[in-house]
Structure 1
Amino acid sequence: MTAQIELAHAPSDAISAVRFAPQSPNRLLVASWDRNVYLYDTKSGEQGSLLQKVEHRAPVLDICFGDDDSTAFSAGLDWHVNRINLETGEKSVISSHQAGVKSIVYSDKHHLLISASWDSTLHVHILNNGNIAHAPSTIPLPSKPFSISLTPTKLVVAMASRHIFIYDLAALKMLTSQSAPSQESGNQSILEIQPWQQRESSLKFMTRAVCCMPNDQGYALSSIEGRVGVEWFDPSTESQSRKYAFKCHRQADEGVDVVYPVNALAFHPVHQGTFVSGGGDGFVVLWDGVTKRRIRQYQAYPSSVSSVSWSSDGRYLAIAISPGFEDGNEVISEGQVKLFIRELADGEAKGKSAK
């Protein structure tokens, strides 16, 4: 039987992001609107243990790990990109945008830290042995970014007005290293780089999340209107004919189809093609992206699913729930913000097409 625990010491306000560590399947990083970043050991005791709590000046919108499990980066409504030493809790600002920073990702292959801000820019940082090698380069975007995601070779940026930009990470690093001023100068260079591909989202309504396939072949994106689209990078006509979109996270209420936003997506790190979606309806659903079938749907959670993350071995799924305010009530009541760790049985996330 599948085991699930609820972590103790959950944040006091809405959870914006959860991320498992790249090496340890038991270390979970959590960002919250209560202005804190939390680090948990999910296997300590019956409900896990809180290892670190790092306060910020404003709500934290996203977090990611660096090269190891002891270094993290955070970003949020204080406009800053921060580096956090998870052993000591020490936090330092490494760059600042001109508006809130919605998303942040780290490429361990290219040692690139990339932040996406509502000032319609990306900041690209090159890290050298964990240190910032240059002042960041700034890439202007045509509209406000909503979500970004990485593969080993690509960066996908989902923006307003249905813009999707796909960048080649090797080219991004080369141009950044050539144009970036020294960190001591404090200046930032404007990087005029054309995306490797420029697309229009296959979904008609505002993008909520984008998540890349671990096999480097494509990505999934979700919208506020209860839909998920799956697309491939290969620009050939044959490959592009494979892309599709489907309805999900909709609940019938007295004969009326109530549509919820799909807030979170995450591809399984082991079973290629399997991904999970989390919706404003409080449901978490496993999908086989190859056969276009639902693998299973878990029981409803008591509030909106705001973020999901797989452990590096694919055995554990972290599920964050927070009020999505779909009912118009913007007051958070006690017990509405929770963190769950779900342990999957062998083969539970295996797609219908997997051998």
Structure 2
Amino acid sequence: MTYNRNQQGMLSENPKDYEVPQPPTDGISGLSFCPTNDYLAVSSWDNNVRIYETNQQVGSAVGKSIYAHEKPALCVTWSKDGLKVFSGGADNAGRCFDITTSQTIQIAAHDQPIKCIKYVDQVNLVATGSWDKTIKYWDTRSQTPALTVNLPERCYAMDVNYPLLVVGTAERQVQIYNLNNPSTSYKTTQSPLKWQTRCIACFTSGNGYAIGSIEGRVGIQYIEEKENQTSFSFKCHREGNNVFSVNTISFHPIYGTFSTAGSDGTFNFWDKDSKQRLKGFNSVGAPISATAFNRNGTIFAYAASYDWSKGYLQYATSTKNAIYLHSVKEDDVKPKPAKKR
């Protein structure tokens, strides 16, 4: 099943968005908004995690804090109370930065880089997914994991909406967990997409997830299919015969619609229920490597930087690394009735 073909025919806008000052000096790997205010945490290949204070009206942003990993920082998230930032990196370490004290401590360790990190607020644990083929759950007061779960392959993508946790690994494997019983996979399946998994995001309703791949395609997957809830996939981030990676998917916290962004430098807003694109934007001139909505969905942050989709040989030191803040119009993300065929 595919979305209505307005993704090719609909006119796209040129985004006119605020550029955050003093961005990272290397590729941007992750963006995460604080759940209690409009602080934005940014992880980067320059080894650092930066925290910016953004304005609700997207009129300004200012750097507030910075802390370092020993190697590239690959992922970032917040605690529920908005007082701590958690990040994982190629130094195999998970770190915690305390906003109130500006102190950093190591709270997690793996045998290989930590690709994904999520805070599970209902159980006060930090979940880390690694290329060492494990997920580990950490109580930040302890140096040993509360639980270690083996994966069939390296962790490439992970998201959580309690009690749902979904992991996408190498070889297109997908592991689905019910966090009421986190030690055992609730369901093991293969990606509905034919090529390597790039990103995963759980529905705000918690009954499924969206998965994106390197081949310009997204799968909408329900955990338990029903008559009005059937899984499907659709093409996006394509131009003629050129196919681009879907690098990141973010769900709107209020409406449950979602964004996709890719190596073509474009981002789009979609409605999975009516199966249509709500709004498209023209290329920003560089791949979009990470995105995030703020807590009420009025700000959409996106990072323009090299995304490594063409390997390290194509990386140029002159590549721009930028973070933009897009003021979200309600009409662009609000669900719409399905179009008649």
**TM-score, normalisation: structure 1:** 0.86
Aligned pairs for 1:1-355 (under 5 A) are 4-24=17-37, 26-43=38-55, 46-126=59-139, 131-132=141-142, 135-172=145-182, 193-234=183-224, 238=227, 242-252=230-240, 257-272=241-256, 274-325=257-308, 329-333=314-318, 336-353=320-337
Counterparts of 2:194 and 2:289 in 1: how far apart (Å)?
Answer: 21
SS in structure 2 at match of 1:161: helix
Counterparts of 1:214 and 1:104 in 2: how far apart (Å)?
Answer: 18
Q: State the Cα deviation string for residues 138-169 of structure 1 (Å, max 9, x = none).
A: 11111111000011211101111221111111
Bigger mean CA offset, 32-41 vs 47-56: 47-56
Bigger mean CA offset, 6-15 vs 160-169: 160-169
Amino acid at match of 1:39: I
Q: How many Å apart are 1:56 and its aligned residue?
A: 1.6
Q: How many Å apart are 1:212 and its aligned residue?
A: 0.2
Counterparts of 1:4 and 1:123 in 2: how far apart (Å)?
Answer: 38
SS in structure 1 at match of 2:181: helix
SS in structure 2 at match of 1:16: strand
Counterparts of 1:38 and 1:75 in 2: how far apart (Å)?
Answer: 13
Instruction: Report the number of matched residues.
Output: 322
Of all paired residues, the percent bearing the same amino acid is 29
Structure 1: unaligned runs, 5 residues or longer: 173-192
Partners of 2:108 and 2:143 within 8 A in 1: no
Partners of 2:136 and 2:145 within 8 A in 1: no
> Relative to 1, partners in 2 of residues 1:164 and 1:135: Cα closer, same or farther, differing over 3 Å?
closer
Q: State the Cα deviation string for residues 254-276 of structure 1 (Å, max 9, x = none).
A: xxx1001000000111112x100
SS in structure 2 at match of 1:171: coil
Q: How many Å apart are 1:134 and its aligned residue?
A: 6.3
SS in structure 1 at match of 2:30: strand
SS in structure 1 at match of 2:297: coil
Structure 2: unaligned runs, 5 residues or longer: 1-12
Amino acid at match of 1:201: S
Counterparts of 1:259 and 1:3 in 2: how far apart (Å)?
Answer: 25
RMSD of the alignment, in Å?
2.1
Amino acid at match of 1:170: N
Q: How many Å apart are 1:53 and its aligned residue?
A: 0.8
Q: How many Å apart are 1:67 and its aligned residue?
A: 2.5
Q: How many Å apart are 1:299 and its aligned residue?
A: 2.4
Amino acid at match of 1:353: P
Counterparts of 2:228 and 2:330 in 1: how far apart (Å)?
Answer: 32
> Relative to 1, partners in 2 of residues 1:113 and 1:239: Cα closer, same or farther, differing over 3 Å?
farther
Amino acid at match of 2:201: C
Partners of 1:304 and 1:323 within 8 A in 2: yes
Q: How many Å apart are 1:89 and its aligned residue?
A: 2.7
Counterparts of 1:262 and 1:235 in 2: how far apart (Å)?
Answer: 24
